[in-house]
Amino acid sequence: MKRGDVHSCPSCNTLHTVTLIESSLIVCKSCGTYIHEATGDENTPEQSKMPDDWTFLKIGSTCELPQQTFHLVGRCRLQLRNDYKNFWCAEYGRGKCLWIAESFGSFSIFLSAWEKFAGDPAQLRAGASVKMSNELKLIGEYVEKCEGISFAGEIGAWNFFTPGFFVVQASATTKTSFFFLEPKKNVSFLSGEKILAERLNFKNTIEWNEWK
Amino acid sequence: MSGSSYTIACPKCQTVNTVRGKAMTLALTCSSCKTYFGVGKWSKDLTTFGTSYEPVLPIGAKGKIDGKVYEVMGLVVKKEQKYKYDWREYIIFNPFEGYAFLSEYNGHWNMVWPVDDVPPLAMSASDFVDEGFHFRLFQKYKAKVIYAVGEFFFDVVHITETTFNREFIAPPLLFALEKSDDSVLWCKGEYMTPSEVASAFQIPVSKLPSKTGMGYTQPMMGKIKNGAVVSFSILVFIFLLIAQMFFSGSAEEKVVYQGNFFQADLKDQKFFKTSSFTLEGGSKSLEVVVVAPLLNDWFFAEFSLIDETTGTETIFTKDVEYYQGYEDGESWSEGSTKGEAFLSQIPAGKYHINIYPEFSTSSHEFSLTVKRDVAAWSNFWLTLLMLSVFPIGYFIRRNWMEKKRWSESDYSPYEY
């Protein structure tokens, strides 16, 4: 789905205009139906209601940085066994996409696209060293099974793994990567940087005034 | 937690529980039957505890720490598996900050929160430096949850049983590592006084457990840091030294009288009288130096400094002793043949000194030198001694308390 395309919800006929240069999924804002064009080599996401949690971000929130403003247009929520991860899809620069991962007040930002992991998947363990390049070695922080995925809004390029895959996060100082492992299949990863929420300067967030 | 309409039925008694942490809550205890269970479809284990504990921070209570409002979500009581002591961990939550823990043991509290930035050496070394603080390994342990109540963002029972823990301290700070096959979680912590905890949650401090012994991250003497004490002491010493050097440099040290006295000259008189000498330049110090050629003997005299204009007397004494010998193959000596008396604030004028000597059997003579405007080092040393009391006391107490703190560790750098 390309920027400017208009898609009609197959369930309720609500029209949706694609804002990202490349969009892989739109969740109907009226009825929640997934609007997805399968490319043939990936899983079709199963529809799942977005759980209610205490995130203070929402679709429509913005990150106002000095040289660029990002608009949150979509959300992918991973329910892990002992954690959760919200991957917020942010649009900037007329349709470009980046990901902001959020969990319990901790944030990471991912500008690069999904990549295939060329290393040994056995490296992807908690406490183990993961060689990303000659210059960069990460340390595995955790391995968690993903028990559920929910989507909302517009989703940029995404690997639609079926729940049951494993998520590994590995980091070194501010560098961090998320690896998605489907048993006996390829390993995909996103690479980015950990960042403080204050630096992202979120606006138009959910106001939990009782917490301030 | 305001606004939550998220509910989950207890798999054991079917009571519908309102879940304050919404979808973030992954394990909880039933409000009715107290059974601990996970909310995910993958988690079927039900846990009941053979013990009970009333949280001193009520579940659902809100408290303000560092200007941020946290809500108490749950409490776990953990038991260490080797030494069998137990402690309490309250999990607290703020949507903007995430979760943290308030850990209490023997009435001592630590606020502990997950961190991303960990010193690289922390993974392997037994000590490391972070932001100027020297962290040392204090304990390694495995633990078990013996009681839980409330809500949790992870399966606290399973995770506690499967993790191996290491804690490093640099009071009032700590780093804690929870490591299992599946995760490596680093937390940082800081000691909180019971008053700070009580004030944060607006409960009387008397409701909190009484402090026993010394907390393993309890700071000594409030917020005073070793570096600050050392820096302050050095600064004071330098200041005193500069002041002393200034006054010494400007001292005139003028010899206003010098004379030799022999017992034979005393004849039937009881005292010697020096010739008159003049002291100039307002009120200044005076040093009287007595030298007696002694060997294994003593000399004593009483001196009377007399202002010839006013008749005012300043009386002082001086005892000079010098002994030496050879014993067990070593020579020794004690005392000196020279003695000084220091008089401060002597006004200008014409003076003489009456000397009332006491000669021993072998001492028969002495010399006297009187110096005007002499720098007094004794004041410097006395001031330095007084100002040293605090830093010396601080470090003695610090060492004693550190030893006491580390007596509960298997990794103490001290010997007992």
Judged by DSSP in three states, B234 sits in helix
Please give the average per-residue pLDDT across B384-411, as a whole number: 89
Per the listing, tokens 């006996």 go with A184
- Nearest-CA distance B117 → chain A (Å): 6
Identify the CA nearest to A204 among candidates A58, A9, A11: A58
pLDDT of residue B246: 85
Per-residue tokens: B222? 């409030």
What is the pLDDT, as a whole number, of residue B4? 62
**pLDDT category, B221, cuts 50, 70, 90?**
low
Contact at CB, B184 and A139, closer than 8 angstroms: yes
The predicted model scores a pTM of: 0.77
Binary contact (B95, A125; C-beta < 8 A): no
Amino acid B20: pLDDT = 92
One-letter-per-residue 3-state SS of chain A: CECCCEEECCCCCCEEECCCCECCEEECCCCCCEEECCCCCCCCCCCCCCCCCCCCCCCCCEEECCCCEEEEEEEEEEEECCEEEEEEEEEECCCEEEEEEEECCEEEEECCCCEECCCCHHHCCCCCEEECCCCCEEEEEEEEEEEEEEEEEEECCCCCCCCCCEEEEEEECCEEEEEEECCCCCEEEEEEEEECHHHHCEECCCCCHHHC
pLDDT value of position B210 = 95
Choose the mutation target among B25, B44, B73, B96 for the interface with A, i.e. most A CBs under 10 Å: B96
- All residues of chain A having their beta carbon less than 8 Å from the beta carbon of residue B185 are 141-142
Is the link from the previous residue into B172 a cis peptide, with omega within 30 of 0? yes
Asked if A47 and A32 touch (Cβ cutoff 8 Å), the reply is yes
Q: What is the mean pLDDT of residues B49-61?
A: 93
Q: From the CA of B45, how many Å to the nearest CA of chain A?
A: 14
Which of A51, A79, A126 comes nearest B181 by C-beta?
A126
Residues of chain B with CATH 2.60.120.1300: 252-374
Q: Which of A200, A173, A181, A178 is nearest to A189 (CA)?
A: A178
Q: What percent of chain A has pLDDT over 90?
A: 63
The answer to whether the CB of A125 falls within 8 A of the CB of A207 is: no
Q: What is the CATH number of domain B252-374?
A: 2.60.120.1300
pLDDT tens per residue, range A22-53: 999 999 999 999 988 766 556 677 888 899 99
Residue B237, pLDDT > 90, answer: no
Burial letters for B354-366: b for 16+ Cβ neighbours within 10 Å, e otherwise?
bbebebeeebbbb
A-B C-beta contacts closer than 8 Å: 92
Name the band, by pLDDT with cuts 50, 70 and 90, for residue B3: low
CA torsion through residues B211, B213, B219, B221, sign: positive
Q: Amino acid letter at A82?
A: N
Mean pLDDT in chain B?
A: 91
- The 3-state DSSP class for residue B390 equals helix
Digit-coded pLDDT (tens) for A153-202 = 999 988 888 888 999 999 998 999 999 998 877 899 999 999 999 999 99
Chain A residues with CB under 8 Å of a chain B CB are 51-56, 79, 81-84, 103-106, 125-127, 139-145, 147, 171, 173, 194, 197, 208, 210-212
Tell me what the mean pLDDT of segment B386-400 comes to. 87
- Residues B288-347: tens digit of each pLDDT: 999 999 999 999 999 999 999 999 999 999 999 999 999 888 999 999 999 999 998 899
How far apart, in whole angstroms, are the C-alpha atoms of residue B270 and residue B235? 52
Question: ipTM score of the complex?
Answer: 0.92
- Listed by start position, the domains of chain A span 6-36+44-210
Q: What percent of chain B has pLDDT over 90?
A: 69
Summarize pLDDT for A90-109 with one digit per residue, the tens.
999 889 999 999 999 999 99
Closest-CA residue of chain A to B99: A104
Q: B185 — contact with chain A (CB < 8 Å)?
A: yes
The tokens for B241 are: 């030294």
Chain A CB contacts of B184 under 8 Å are 126-127, 139-142
CA distance A7 to B362: 123
At A178, which amino acid appears?
Answer: F
pLDDT single digits (tens) B107-165: 999 999 999 877 776 777 789 999 889 999 999 999 999 999 999 999 999 999 999 99
Query: Is B362 in a helix, a strand, or coil?
Result: coil
CA distance A154 to chain B (A): 22
- Is A106 within 8 Å of B180 when comparing Cβ atoms? no
Task: Give the CA count within 13 Å in the CB-facing half-sphere of B108.
Answer: 17
Band the pLDDT of A210: cuts 50, 70, 90: confident
Whether the per-residue pLDDT at A123 is higher than 90: the answer is no
Question: Is the Cβ of B330 closer than 8 Å to some Cβ of chain A?
Answer: no
The partner residues of A106 in beta bridges, in order of sequence, read: A103
Written as six digits, the tokens of B210 are 């009484």
DSSP category for residue B261: E
DSSP string, B308-349: TTT--EEEEEEEEEEEEEEETTEEEEEE-SEEEEEEEEEPSE
CB A102 within 8 A of CB A176: no
Please give the Cα distance from B374 to B378 (Å, whole number): 11
Burial class (CB in 10 A: 0-12, 13-18, 19+), A126: buried
Average pLDDT rounded to a whole number, residues A126-154: 92
